[in-house]
Structure 1
């Protein structure tokens, strides 16, 4: 393993150590120990800037499951470095903020920091991995860690609801994404992103291209809260504010953005990719901005603004993907969209992180986030007010802040779409800048509302839960001040990032369009003359101010009072339907009778075997030249059949055990007669253990009771028994006939040829169980071990009424 591998996995290692630090060093806030890791990682990743800015790509290989093409290969270029710096840099500021936000006396800090480090490590794994399956593994860990953080205050019903919603939606997308990854492997025969990009032409020519693309986009859209999957993000605001500032503004919600950016080299250049991403992004942009205006909770406003801003970045990646259609010529026309996406990705992390922290400070000091109860805080919280003003002005797109620059580039990218001349954009393209402009008006409006309703006016302490309101402690202000300062610095000196961070990230998104080492003229400046973008910005400000001035006339409307997103009812209905359906199925299936369970399993096996035989034109039974059967064999078989037939008619447990063991031992005898001593030994051991176990528990079993079985149930049992026996018989005969002048080859030949060479054993049965099916056997042992530990825990634990179980 290389140092980059250790860097990616170090948060998980630290997460293991946190409980011990928390237990033995209680006098010191656990966050101080956690803070060291993201700071060190941030400095470490900063050292790669000279290499990535010169066009170098770092690739470190580590075999994991090479036989399946699954390797933990670290791939560090401009795009992954940008995300690594965001994850570690914002992560360090969030940890510092959490030290003062979360009380070491009242909170379970060990849980919080374990979950946070899990998430940090998972995000680093996602953005540094070159292998799709490894990305998927880390991707799902982000969902798990996020849900744990959202439900950190697990006694609150809303926290549990938000965690469940985020888990269901993002895991659904993750499983869809896994299906897309599998289709890509079927097409190209590799899970490596680099190799997939190199074979993009072959992938596009495949009939599986569109299904793979849609499945991958489902994963990206659900993770990045794109319409209509955006509904999980506002409910995730029940998490502590440090979580919101980290996961839901700078990192987790950007994972989908990263995936789309990374795979643009595979899917970009086709109209389906362009229109799906652009349309979903624009709809998310305007829906989020309109919904943010209707919110009364500070974090609710910021949640929907995040949805809107993510839609903005996604639409830019969609329109910028047209670069892969042209492949040559002056690429400034369509690369401007990718430039805006990368730049706004950075800017959004700075101003939105500071705004979330400011909202947390207000909640911490006033006891509420409801803007209807707030007001006049500028006089008592001037620093928080200044931080909020800078962040909101940047998000609204006002100069001289960084949000103004990326918003101007956004408008330029949207206007450029009308000049592409492809994908019917000469007619439909005019809609794109119009939607972008309208959404920007609402963005400007909710920024004004958030600031004026929180900080302007008179302070009314009677509406608050505290008697005295004061500025937050210095420690809680450090992180948002740093982020607000970056908003100003990146706004005044944007070219600090131009060729060190932004251009290498653009080159990674558009490989072949911008070759490694090639410089794209970024052109980030405040003044470009009297351009259409400038007039659009002026129009946004004028209309936004007019809407704000007239806001009182329509704030009592049904539109403004409808705070809850209408798509939540769709989710709630679907969720409640699933619960009701699962209960109905459970009532039918889980009867508490072992007899019924065997019937269900047997019916399932019958249908599976019947379908398999139908699909492959089985049974393939051949007329074989069989050896004569001696008399003693018939006698043994007669005893075997008799021991099986009498079992249903026995009402004594001792007799049942004897009859069952007789049938088992006769099977072992048959193996001996057919010259399979190893198999006979295995059968003897299993049968002996079974009989011993039966006899050991015999004393503790209740007496057998004669139960009257309804005639219909007897018929069902008879049909199932006959069907099951028939399927097994036909399957066995078909398997025996395989390779005997048929189109099927027997799998037994493979085991015979490879048992000694591959597994080092002559006992084929044991080799199959231990080696060829080693993973299956290990998982079976793991399941049994988990069940044993659970039973032991339930026996030993004695819960009180107040404990959470």
Structure 2
């Protein structure tokens, strides 16, 4: 595993450490333990600048699912390096800021940093992934982790509302993006972005090219809050300010920008790409800047300013795509300057917006409010904060000598060039581009001035403040001061960035514009003479200053654009309509009757599978001589199996129904014995034993069984459905055994079980090696199900009435005075546990394995609980079985990840013979570690369910 892989994994590993070391970290602020992670990552990526600048992108690969073309391939070039530096650099400052912002005595800071690290790792995965499906996985992880961060104060309605809105919109876009990725795969046959770029000439004329483009842009626009998908971002401001500073300056909202830039080599040069991105960006820029000047909440103002600035960057990427129209040549270099401006403003925006968010956090922290109507006159009380706010606001407004001025001038140059284009109908509509850009820039100047001067100048109103304002502690001031300093440094010395970062990024975005061996040459200057751009800036300052003076008295500048119709209302009504429609449809079949649900399931089963068999039509079930003869023992077992099944519908008590069901299950176990399948026999036997216990516990809580008279018509319906299921299952079994159109895979497993996996027990080898990924997902599903059962029972009303009553103290069990049961169980439990460990340890070569061993251990614990009570079980084994489940899942997952360290696919296993003391020649296999995870997960899941259901309030 390379350092680049470790860089992506590091935040996830530390997040796990924060969870596991919760108690030791409670003595200090957890932020101090987390801070080294982004700092080290930032230092690592800084160290990669000379290599990337020298034209040597880093490409590393770890096999995951190579048969499907899915590998964890990371690619560090000029574009991804910029984003990695922003993620780690701004992340370092945000973590330092949050240490002083978040009170560890009042806030769940450990949970906060776990979410933040998950988000950091997910963002690094997005910008470094070369494989489309891996990128999508990280992309959706950013949506999930941002949901957790936005809803951090989950006791607030607005926090939950904002988190849900952000996740619904961004996940919708993510699914559209996934569809676009799949369409690209259909056209190119690869999930690698680099290989797709290399094959661009062969897919440009494909009919699926445009749908792929639109689907991918949907993902980018929703993530980067482009109009009309921007509505989630202002509501996301309900998150703690460090989260807002991180998500909306350098990370989440920039993911869509990254996606557009990354796929520019694929789609740039196409007129649809140019117009969709340019128009969307300019529309977002204009609309959000208008909305920003009407806000009275500082974070809301910053939210709309972020949307506005994202629109500006997006429009620049659209304008820069025109360079691909010409290919390599002087004309392309002219239009590529728009892309240069986009990259430069991307970094500038992260710097000044991060500083401004932190300033707003300081104001809120020290005054208790963000309401502009209550603020004013803070300049003398908070001079350092005012200075940072002034630098950040002036940079955002595009005033010299700050970095925002330079990228804003480059923006004006790009829109002026666009107005003179004579292709793609730009000669007709291009003149509107600089008009819209200049008008929106006037409003940008206006909301920047509102932000700083209405907060820090004017009348001081202490009676409206919740706290007596004073300067923030040094720890909260250092991060915004660093960012403000960078705004000045990069404004005065912009070529510090142009040579080291912008030029390599341009090479990554527009590789087709370069002749072999050539490079981009980017030089940024503060003064170009009395150009049109300078006069546009002067006009912005004059008009913007006038509007600032009129802002409080002119209604159109501070009133809502519309009163009755807003996009938020449309979203709310649409969500309510979906919920109402879903509820009305669901109510037609969700009747609360388990019998009805079983009827629906079985009826669908008959129609879908039975109908499928009829449609196939050419399946032959073979003649009477195609099957082995039935022996006497098998005939007896069949009769013994059929008798309890036939009697079951006529029994009058639940207890008898459970006994008959168990009897049928045990007879199936006998069949496995007769057919020489010891693994299946052991599994079936133990599952039946535990299932009977679960049935008893569940049925104890049900009311007394009442027999109701069932109409004859319903009886015939039930009979037909039951018979139909039996017939369909029988036909499927017969068809599967005789109607194969290909060779059985069993021959492969028999041949490769020991040479490839080092195991002679083929069943266990399939579970932990050949189909280990399925097993991993299955135990995860079991773990989630057990936690769901536990959570459902814990929220029972009786729990609230009884207070913090121990959920394991009272269970429905036989009489604890049963001397025979207690005496026998002392011996039996020891034997069963010993045998379960034998099954586990021998399972790789003999019948057994982690699943069977875990079930048998759980059965022993159930017997212990029945004999002595759950309180004794908890004293003998003082562990929470939920944690046992988590430990099992973790061991299984780490075993799979360990294979990546060795450069082989996920969940690959190794085995070999070793000469061990006392034991001599011994075969060891890493699959046993995975099997240990399965063992622990099965024990934890089973006992969690038993304990939860068995509680008797």
Determine which of 746, 749, 755 is the counterpart of 1:755: 749
What does the per-residue CA deviation read over 1:195-247, in whole Å, with 9 as the maximum and x for residues that have no partner?
11111223334333233222222221121111121111111111111111111
What does the per-residue CA deviation read over 1:330-376, in whole Å, with 9 as the maximum and x for residues that have no partner?
12221011001000001101111111111111111111111111112
Map 1:246-265; keep pairs closer than 5 Å.
246-265=246-265
The structural deviation recorded for 1:298 is 0.5
DSSP-derived class of the 1:61 partner? strand
1:397 corresponds to 2:398 = yes
DSSP-derived class of the 1:489 partner? helix
What does the per-residue CA deviation read over 1:729-766, in whole Å, with 9 as the maximum and x for residues that have no partner?
55456545635xxxxx24xx232432213445999888
1:425 corresponds to 2:451 = no
Q: Which residue of 2 aligns with 1:780?
A: 778
The structural deviation recorded for 1:589 is 4.5
DSSP-derived class of the 2:511 partner? coil
512-521 vs 304-313, which moves further: 512-521
Residue 768 and residue 750 in structure 1: after superposition, are their counterparts in 2 closer, same or farther (change >3 A)? farther
Indicate if the aligned counterparts of 1:165 and 1:232 stay in contact, CA closer than 8 A: yes
86-95 vs 540-549, which moves further: 540-549
Residue 609 and residue 796 in structure 1: after superposition, are their counterparts in 2 closer, same or farther (change >3 A)? closer
Indicate if the aligned counterparts of 1:70 and 1:191 stay in contact, CA closer than 8 A: yes
Map 1:162-181; keep pairs closer than 5 Å.
162-181=162-181
Corresponding residue pairs, total: 790
Give the Cα–Cα distance (whole angstroms) in 2 for the partners of residues 439 and 698 of structure 1.
Answer: 67
Indicate if the aligned counterparts of 2:293 and 2:557 stay in contact, CA closer than 8 A: no
Give the Cα–Cα distance (whole angstroms) in 2 for the partners of residues 428 and 556 of structure 1.
Answer: 28
Give the Cα–Cα distance (whole angstroms) in 2 for the partners of residues 712 and 430 of structure 1.
Answer: 76
239-248 vs 134-143, which moves further: 134-143
Q: Which residue of 1 aligns with 2:508?
A: 508
387-396 vs 421-430, which moves further: 421-430
Q: Which residue of 1 aligns with 2:410?
A: 409
DSSP-derived class of the 1:552 partner? coil
Q: Which residue of 2 aligns with 1:618?
A: 616
The structural deviation recorded for 1:403 is 0.9
What does the per-residue CA deviation read over 1:510-560, in whole Å, with 9 as the maximum and x for residues that have no partner?
122246863323232222233332333233233323322332343378834
What does the per-residue CA deviation read over 1:37-83, in whole Å, with 9 as the maximum and x for residues that have no partner?
22222222111111111211111222222222222222111111111
Give the Cα–Cα distance (whole angstroms) in 2 for the partners of residues 623 and 118 of structure 1.
Answer: 54
Q: Which residue of 1 aligns with 2:379?
A: 378
DSSP-derived class of the 1:74 partner? strand
1:435 corresponds to 2:436 = yes
Map 1:444-483; keep pairs closer than 5 Å.
444-466=445-467, 468-483=468-483
The structural deviation recorded for 1:4 is 2.0
Q: Which residue of 1 aligns with 2:106?
A: 106
Indicate if the aligned counterparts of 1:55 and 1:517 stay in contact, CA closer than 8 A: no
Output the aligned Cα RMSD: 3.4
DSSP-derived class of the 2:744 partner? helix
The structural deviation recorded for 1:408 is 1.3
Residue 157 and residue 665 in structure 1: after superposition, are their counterparts in 2 closer, same or farther (change >3 A)? closer
Unpaired runs of 5+ residues, structure 1, are 740-744
The structural deviation recorded for 1:261 is 0.7
Give the Cα–Cα distance (whole angstroms) in 2 for the partners of residues 755 and 768 of structure 1.
Answer: 8
DSSP-derived class of the 2:521 partner? coil
634-643 vs 388-397, which moves further: 634-643
Residue 586 and residue 631 in structure 1: after superposition, are their counterparts in 2 closer, same or farther (change >3 A)? closer
Give the Cα–Cα distance (whole angstroms) in 2 for the partners of residues 318 and 499 of structure 1.
Answer: 23
The structural deviation recorded for 1:682 is 6.5
Q: Which residue of 2 aligns with 1:284?
A: 284
Give the Cα–Cα distance (whole angstroms) in 1 for the partners of residues 66 and 557 of structure 2.
Answer: 61
DSSP-derived class of the 1:62 partner? strand
Q: Which residue of 2 aligns with 1:63?
A: 63
The structural deviation recorded for 1:707 is 2.1
Structure-1-length-normalised TM-score: 0.89
Residue 90 and residue 781 in structure 1: after superposition, are their counterparts in 2 closer, same or farther (change >3 A)? closer
Residue 782 and residue 353 in structure 1: after superposition, are their counterparts in 2 closer, same or farther (change >3 A)? closer
Indicate if the aligned counterparts of 1:619 and 1:734 stay in contact, CA closer than 8 A: no
Structure-2-length-normalised TM-score: 0.76
Q: Which residue of 2 aligns with 1:742?
A: none
